[in-house]
Structure 1
Amino acid sequence: MVSTTMEPASSTPLERDARLINAREHRIKPGEIAVGVVIGRTSEFFDFFVYAIASVLVFPSVIFPFVDRLTGTLYSFAMFALAFIARPIGAFLFLWIDRQHGRGVKLTIALFLLGGSTMAMAFLPSYQSAGVFAILMLGLLRIGQGFATGGTWDGLPSLLSLNAPSERRGWFAMIPQLGAPLGLLVAAAVFAFLLTTLSPADFLDWGWRYPFFVAFAINVVALFARLRLISTPGFERLYENRELQPSPVMEMFREEGRTVVLGAFAPLASFALFHLVTVFPLSWVILHDEAPARFLVIEIVGAVVGVVAVMLSGVIADRIGRRTVLGVSAALIAVYSGFAPQLLGKGDSGEWTYMMLGFLLLGLAFGQSSGAVNGSFSAKHRYTGAGTTATAAWLIGAGFAPLAALLLASNFGLIAVGAYLLSGALCTLAALGINREWGRKSA
């Protein structure tokens, strides 16, 4: 068993080099942490959405041309889910690397693997030129993305929370969540530009490959920004005091597994909605012969609405509480699930209404979903518990959402997508209620 005695954080050349160019006066400032968090999360979500958009626009034609468009998209979404299955495995391995070799080593390996796996997709051969090998390579690289994402947890959101004024916890909790709409905005804009400036043949031949190159450069910038912060003396003090030190996973599950389970189910409303306003609707409208560039513009506008809504969630949470925001937003998502998905079949006005309302609700819910019950973790397990909870929540709530939604919609109609979304909202309300009841009993 790995020893749990307190030991100084291991120092590495990467961390020492980052320390030399660190924050002014070597002090942690919430504003600087926030910048590092936003850059890091935006880079991860840019990688995420580049693949997600390509799953709809590219892979059904380039990798799965031997089946009809619907089946090819379903195959692409099955590949999409592989990363979420691989992510927990990567998380366990990278936590070991963190304990043995330091956070800088772990983060460097993880981000280079993430960026490398994403960039390598730019060199994927088509099915026509490589046959089954093209499918195998896509699956392997997608697993590499998920495996690497399991190691990108750096504790910066927890550090941001620990440095936040008590009266502004909701505001600082929403900052890491800005990375999702910002990553979508950039990824959708890049693809929209390529679609409008290239012919369909050129786009499918070579144009779609450029966003995957961009992802690697963004990951390098994100790595530098995050190393600059994790090597600060203040961060190291928190690390050495166990408040941000990785603990053995099995020990964490034995002592605080209940919190992991509740934390994984608490954000399901927002995680289910996450893919139902980003990935699924793009696939649905394209399968019904609508222009992808036009719908990507709707997604770009929706991402802007999402950014505003995420920020608004922080303001509201500081007034009425984070759990209240999560509960109310889950109830509103449940109402939305009863009528909104059908709007995707109502033409241009219906699509705009579905997307704008969806991004508004997503921003409010997703803005406070990070670590919904992580405050229940002890300092000893805060770092490992928070990262494990996030990994579990993405696997349960988001990994299979595009595949499930498209299967349901194609077989039972858009109303079935609403039922799927409703189940996520009910899980959130149940988890919040159980957590409050357990908290009352332990008080």
Structure 2
Amino acid sequence: MANATGTPSPAFTADNATPAGHSPVAPGEIAVGVIIGRASEYFDFFVFGIACVLVFPSVFFPGASQIEGVIYSFWIFALAFVARPFGTALFMTIQRRWGRSVKLTASLFLLGTATAGIAFLPTYETLGTAAVVFLAFFRALQGFATGGAWDGLPSLLVLNAPSNRRNWYAMLGQLGAPLGFLLANALFLYLIVAVSTEDFLSWAWRYPFFVAFAINVVALFARLRLVLTEEYTFALEESELEPISTREMLREQGRNIFLGAFAALASYALFHIVTIFPLSWIALNKSQVIDKVLSIQVWGACAGILGTMASGMIADRIGKRTTLGLMAAAIGVFALFAPMLMDGSPAQQNAFILIGFALLGLSYGQANGTVTANFQRRYRYTGAALTSDFAWLFGAAFAPLVALGLSVEFGLVAVSGYLLSAVVVTLLALRINRSLEAKS
């Protein structure tokens, strides 16, 4: 863990040093696999999230009102995050028994199957309630499979990065989020503009899911090319990046897992508040044309990419924990202005999206690995996966559902309350982590 000046503490440096007897793996090579892998996963999830607003209410909930259709879709959206820790637990067992290649291939095969299943799924008109059941099943399967897609490359990347650039390299895995959103959003924008509304809801909405399946295939081979080579296998083994059972992890490192999840809560809460929620709110209130909103979100994703990259440079100077704390405070300030911006003119709504994405990049860029140094080395591989799973579950899974549902009922002040509560939890978790570190 870095101190206030951004210099790694002795304990952190020793524990993160490249293992003796093995030359460091080139961080640039690992970074390529990390970015491709994460971008493909995020693309899958954002395609589903955008479809929850633009497609599913009409296609799978035609008898419900528009607001009810979006709410029902957001319930299904959350299932993936609930299933994700269970996927991590099962696939860690698979890796212990049959190896990393079997685990990664099986998980990405399941992810591709679930995504293709949604692409081919008959509508409510054809299949009735069963269509909704299958949609929920495939969505849960997406989350379950994503839990097994953890390959340890982000941890390996940080361990092999120069000691004064670790936060920069840690940012690269997070870069997949705005990249995935940019691609998903741009594809939906193209379809909305290129075809009529009738054609879009009839068949064109399926194309992004076909594209997601194709991207998964490319990502699978890109990642297998890295993790199955002898060089990377030795590096992973010598770094003691082991697939520990979930039961042992919770028993031995449960405090660190949940502390890490809560330390990043503000970033994860903001995640869907600026990516999925604005689209739903604007679509329901018809305050802007959808293609205009999607265009602004493309620019927002670009701002998120720049913010994510900037977070690496900032954190290398002042430390990851300080960066995350400052960004949590900034999210708190942003939350106070959220009702005014989202309930205002199109220009104000656009400002909410652009500012929100920039903040998201700056905060989410350092959200992973906040308390990674607290884990013993052998627990770091599985600990990083479970920490991320629970951060998504607690912070992001129900964010669009809660924000939209409460905003319809009580007004947009609910968005402020949601974000502020996450900010308080983050700052408290960071303070606890600092106190525990001082005692050790």
Q: Give the superposition deviation at 1:241.
A: 3.3
Counterpart of 2:16 in structure 1 is none
Paired AA for residue 416 in structure 1 = A
Q: Give the superposition deviation at 1:242.
A: 5.8
Counterpart of 1:345 in structure 2 is 343
**Cα deviation digits, residues 109-153 of structure 1 (max 9, x gap):** 111111111121111111122110111110111111011011011
Contact 1:27 1:233 in 2 (8 A): no
Counterpart of 1:395 in structure 2 is 393
Map of 1:192-203 to 2, 5 A cutoff? 192-203=189-200
1:150 is aligned, of 138, 147, 155, to 147
Is it true that 1:171 corresponds to 2:177 in the alignment? no
Is it true that 1:285 corresponds to 2:272 in the alignment? no
Counterpart of 2:13 in structure 1 is none
Contact 2:167 2:313 in 1 (8 A): yes
Q: Give the superposition deviation at 1:437.
A: 0.5
Q: Secondary structure at the match of 2:233?
A: helix
**Cα deviation digits, residues 307-361 of structure 1 (max 9, x gap):** 0000000001111111110000000101111112331111211012111111111
Counterpart of 1:319 in structure 2 is 317
Paired with 1:284 and 1:406, the residues of 2 have a C-alpha distance of 7
Paired with 1:318 and 1:241, the residues of 2 have a C-alpha distance of 26
Counterpart of 2:130 in structure 1 is 133
> After TM superposition, where is structure 1 displaced by more than 4 Å over at least 4 residues in a row?
none
Q: Give the superposition deviation at 1:234.
A: 3.4
Q: Give the superposition deviation at 1:369.
A: 0.3
Paired AA for residue 408 in structure 1 = L
Counterpart of 1:328 in structure 2 is 326
Paired AA for residue 146 in structure 2 = T
Paired with 1:425 and 1:432, the residues of 2 have a C-alpha distance of 11
1:217 is aligned, of 200, 214, 217, to 214
Paired with 1:341 and 1:209, the residues of 2 have a C-alpha distance of 34
**Cα deviation digits, residues 407-434 of structure 1 (max 9, x gap):** 1110011111111011111111011000
Paired with 2:117 and 2:245, the residues of 1 have a C-alpha distance of 33
2:52 is aligned, of 52, 55, 60, to 55
1:248 is aligned, of 227, 245, 251, to 245
Contact 2:156 2:236 in 1 (8 A): no
Contact 2:35 2:175 in 1 (8 A): yes
Contact 2:24 2:160 in 1 (8 A): no
- Structure 2 length-normalised TM: 0.93
Q: Give the superposition deviation at 1:248.
A: 2.0
Paired with 1:310 and 1:55, the residues of 2 have a C-alpha distance of 26
Counterpart of 2:414 in structure 1 is 416
**Structure 2 gap ranges (5+):** 1-22
Q: Give the superposition deviation at 1:286.
A: 0.3
Q: Give the superposition deviation at 1:233.
A: 2.8
Q: Give the superposition deviation at 1:28.
A: 2.8
Counterpart of 1:273 in structure 2 is 270
Paired with 2:31 and 2:87, the residues of 1 have a C-alpha distance of 25
- Structure 1 length-normalised TM: 0.92
Contact 2:42 2:180 in 1 (8 A): yes
Paired with 2:304 and 2:199, the residues of 1 have a C-alpha distance of 32
Q: Secondary structure at the match of 1:154?
A: coil
**Structure 1 gap ranges (5+):** 1-25
Contact 1:27 1:232 in 2 (8 A): no
1:437 is aligned, of 432, 435, 439, to 435
Q: Give the superposition deviation at 1:239.
A: 3.4
Is it true that 1:114 corresponds to 2:111 in the alignment? yes
Contact 1:108 1:223 in 2 (8 A): yes
Is it true that 1:91 corresponds to 2:91 in the alignment? no
Is it true that 1:263 corresponds to 2:260 in the alignment? yes
Judged with a 3 Å threshold, the aligned counterparts in structure 2 of structure 1 residues 322 and 242 are, in CA distance, closer, same or farther, namely: closer
**Cα deviation digits, residues 284-319 of structure 1 (max 9, x gap):** 000012321110111100000000000000001111
1:376 is aligned, of 359, 374, 392, to 374
Is it true that 1:67 corresponds to 2:70 in the alignment? no
Contact 1:159 1:235 in 2 (8 A): no
Paired AA for residue 391 in structure 2 = A
1:36 is aligned, of 20, 33, 36, to 33
Paired with 1:206 and 1:282, the residues of 2 have a C-alpha distance of 21
Counterpart of 1:206 in structure 2 is 203
Q: Give the superposition deviation at 1:27.
A: 7.6
**Cα deviation digits, residues 193-222 of structure 1 (max 9, x gap):** 000010000000001000000011100111
Query: Could you say what the CA RMSD is over the residues aligned between the two structures, in angstroms?
Result: 1.2
Q: Give the superposition deviation at 1:375.
A: 1.6
Paired AA for residue 95 in structure 2 = D
**Cα deviation digits, residues 361-392 of structure 1 (max 9, x gap):** 11110000011111211111111111111111
Is it true that 1:307 corresponds to 2:305 in the alignment? yes
Paired AA for residue 356 in structure 1 = L
Paired with 1:409 and 1:170, the residues of 2 have a C-alpha distance of 36
Paired AA for residue 174 in structure 2 = Q
Counterpart of 1:23 in structure 2 is none
Counterpart of 1:4 in structure 2 is none
Q: Give the superposition deviation at 1:238.
A: 3.5
Paired with 1:242 and 1:187, the residues of 2 have a C-alpha distance of 35
Q: Give the superposition deviation at 1:228.
A: 1.2
Paired AA for residue 114 in structure 2 = S
- Please say which of residues 270-279 and 120-129 is displaced more in the overlay: 120-129
Counterpart of 1:365 in structure 2 is 363
